[in-house]
Amino acid sequence: RSQLVRQRTTQILSIQNLLARNLSLAAPGNLIKGWQAPDIDALALLPEQALAVQANLAVMHCLDEQIHGLEHAILERATLREDYRALQTVSGIGKVLALTIALETGDIGRFASPGNFASYARTVSSRRESNGKKKGEGNTKCGNRHLAWAFVEAAHFAVRYNERIKRFYQKKSARTLPVVAIKAVAHKLARASYHVMKSGEPFDVARAFG
Q: Domain coordinates of the chain in residue numbers? A: 2-78, 82-209
Task: Give the max Cα distance, the chain.
Answer: 63
At position 162, the amino acid (one-letter code) is N
Check residue 79 and give its pLDDT.
Answer: 64
Please tell me the distance from the alpha carbon of residue 150 to that of residue 193, in angstroms, as a whole number.
12
Helix (H, G, I), strand (E, B) or coil at 121: coil
Residues in Cβ contact with 156 at an 8 Å cutoff, skipping those fewer than 6 apart: 92, 182
Check residue 129 and give its pLDDT.
Answer: 41
CB 8 within 8 Å of CB 60: yes
* Helix%, strand%, coil% for the chain, nearest 5: 70, 5, 25
Overall pTM surpassing 0.85 (yes/no): no
**Interval 107-159: pLDDT, tens:** 999 999 999 999 999 998 755 444 444 444 554 567 899 999 999 999 999 99
Give all strands (DSSP E) within the chain, no chain letters: 127-130, 133-137
| Average per-residue pLDDT for the chain | 88
Residue whose C-alpha is closest to residue 103's, from 68, 154, 144, 156 = 144
